[in-house]
Structure 1
Amino acid sequence: MFTNRSRNTSDTDTLRGARVVITGGAHGIGRAIATQFVHAGAYVAVGDIDGHAAQQAAAELGNDTLGTALDVTDEASFASFLDTAENAIGPMTVMINNAGVDWMGPFHSEPSHVSRRQLDVNLMGPIIGSRLALQRMLPRRGGHLVNVASAAGRVPQPGSAVYTATKFGVVGLTEALRLEYRESGVRFSVVHPGQVRTQMIDGTGRSSRLLRVISPDDCARAVIDAVRRNRFEVWAPADQRIGIQLGNLLPRALRERAMLALKVDAIARDADISARSAYHERAFGSDR
């Protein structure tokens, strides 16, 4: 059960005592985010489809961290997770929709159930999580909702067309919510990681010069920065933002030529599908 902790109001301690809820928190980016919030003095609850891994992560993080099973595609599971989290660590002040999956391969070969899984986890998950979080935050006139999108939410990624569509959706969702609830006291952030060194990029031997590979800790620092400084749109790595935003000002033909020159299409095109089979099975089942 949450016990109150005295707060230090200095800039470096703005996260001390915060109550942070993270989806997809047992591995990769989510685990790194949880770790950095704990180190900043926050109370953390992590949910993951792998409940055992979530519990193990929580035990290793310490500081009364909660870890439990969560299916972000199931509204009842999500609501139960938030109830459990708030009973354990107190009323949440930060909600991070992080869970996501990515299938790589030609669009015409992608199984329909894989497409639906990406839509359910990557887009419906943040939709459900954002709605449930706002139902709790709005009466309190405060809170911070963070949706982890992707650079693929601003730059199309050939070979991951459905994943790209879901991340464009997350960006649009967050931008619309920021405007709709601009006077509510709730803050919003959308985070755009490039390629992050997690299981999601297994088998991708080459990276784009536009979307270089970073570590989960790099991405977690961007999330921490978004919350601490109340920044709406955050890129990881930060230098990625300028190139992408300038590129989007170009006429379409030049923009597409530039993206191809920077090998955005190489990420999925050159992926070793056999090397990705273990990840695909974990994310989508054996009959991918």
Structure 2
Amino acid sequence: MAEGLLAGKTAVITGGAQGIGYAIAERFLAEGARVVLGDMNAEAVAEAAAKLGDGAVGVAGDVTSADDVAALVETAIDTFGSLDVMVNNAGITRDATMRKMPEEHFDQVMNVHLKGTWLGTRAAAEVMREQGSGSIINMSSISGKVGNLGQTNYSAAKAGIVGLTKAAAKEVAFKNVRINAIQPGLIRTAMTEAMPQKVWDSKMAEIPMGRAGEPDEIAKVALFLASDLSSYMTGTVTEVTGGRYM
């Protein structure tokens, strides 16, 4: 019999082929869960699932499509028999100052982050309400608290995820479905390491702990929120930032 904080549980993780999403999948599997990874890149998500091994399935899809999100949920139920944890993690960046940002780039970021999180939350909550349990984890960002230069789209979307999380949590709490958000700070991923050195250095200067976080440090917080360790928590926003913007 599987052991661990998530023994016997099934989790769907969007944006699961790399970075924070992949780290969450690794951590969940180590704690006894089965995972369904969702990602836009069909080849990458298949490779990620194969690398994770038994108990992991990859599904290509677009989180801005209700049908694709439904397919993720259905895969979890059809393959593993339940949906116990939903991690809405998929995201993109299209950075530019407001003056230079094309309207299309504003819409793309809002759709992936905010609409994608809403679709994932709605689809998961529908299943979890019926079974009388479940945990939904929405990935916000410290950018949704303080705002970042050149990220009017991203900061707005990440702030919106906080409001969405709190409102949705109130709707389903009576059914024992919990919805919480995480706000990562500077985390060492392929996306952040592609920043110009000057930008990286300026962000590092704001972190009292003096270092960037690692993807697994977000994964461990996601594990806490997914498990019964956080059984009396819903509608919360957890900052994981090394002390940035205290």
Structure 2 length-normalised TM: 0.89
How much does 1:222 deviate?
Answer: 1.7
> What secondary structure does 1:123 align onto?
helix
Residue 178 (structure 1) shift:
1.6
Aligned-residue RMSD, C-alpha = 1.6
Show the 5 A alignment for 1:1-288: 6=1, 8=3, 13-201=4-192, 202-205=194-197, 206-208=201-203, 209-210=205-206, 213-228=212-227, 229-230=229-230, 231=233, 232-237=236-241, 239-240=243-244, 243-244=245-246
- State the SS of the aligned residue for 2:146: coil
Q: What is the DSSP-based 3-state SS (H/G/I as helix, E as strand, rest coil) of the residue aligned with 2:107?
A: helix
Q: Which amino acid aligns with 2:120?
A: G
Distance, in Å, in 1 between the alignment partners of 2:42 and 2:80 is 18
8 A contact 1:197–1:215 mirrored in 2:
yes
The answer for unaligned runs of 5 or more in structure 1 is: 1-5, 245-288
Letter in 1 for 2:240: A
Q: What secondary structure is seen at the aligned counterpart in 1 of 2:125?
A: helix
Please list every run of 5 or more consecutive structure 2 residues that lacks an aligned counterpart in the other structure.
none
**What SS does the aligned partner of 1:214 have?**
coil
- 8 Å Cα contact 1:143-1:185 kept in structure 2: yes
Shift, 1:148, TM fit: 0.6
Aligned length: 233
Residues of 2 paired with 1:147 and 1:215: CA distance? 18
* 2:150 match: secondary structure: coil
Query: What letter corresponds to residue 234 of structure 1 in structure 2?
Result: T
Bigger CA radius of gyration: 1
Q: Say if 1:21 and 1:92, in contact at 8 Å, map to a contact too.
A: yes
Distance 1:137 1:157 in 2: 35
| Residues 214-258 of structure 1 deviation map (CA, whole Å, 9 limit, x = unaligned) | 111121112112223224322223644xx43xxxxxxxxxxxxxx
The match for 1:272 is none
Deviation readout 1:168-222 (Å, 9 max, x if unpaired):
0000000111222221110111001001112322224224233562111121112
Give the secondary structure class of the aligned counterpart of 2:79.
helix
State the match for 1:279 in structure 2: none
Larger RCO: 1 or 2 (CA < 8 Å, sep 6+): 2
Deviating more after overlay: 75-84 vs 89-98: 75-84
- 1:149 deviates by 0.5
Whole-Å Cα distance in 1 between the matches of residues 147 and 118 of structure 2?
A: 21
Deviates more, 1:176-185 or 1:95-104: 176-185
Deviations 1:41-89 (A, max 9, x none): 1111101000111111011101231011010011111112211222112
Question: For residues 7 and 44 of structure 1, what CA distance do their matches in structure 2 show?
Answer: 14
CA-CA distance at 1:7 after TM superposition: 5.6
User: Which position in structure 2 is the counterpart of 1:274?
Assistant: none
Task: Please report the TM-score for the alignment, with normalisation by the length of structure 1.
Answer: 0.77
For residues 117 and 29 of structure 1, the distance between their equivalents in structure 2, rounded to whole angstroms, comes to 20
Distance 1:239 1:141 in 2: 36
1:73 match: secondary structure:
coil
- 1:219–1:237 contact (8 Å) kept in structure 2: no
Residue identity over aligned pairs, in percent, reads 33
Could you tell me how far apart the structure 2 residues matched to 1:239 and 1:158 are? 20
Which whole-Å CA distance do the structure 1 matches of 2:76 and 2:95 have between them?
34
Match for 1:56: what amino acid?
A: E
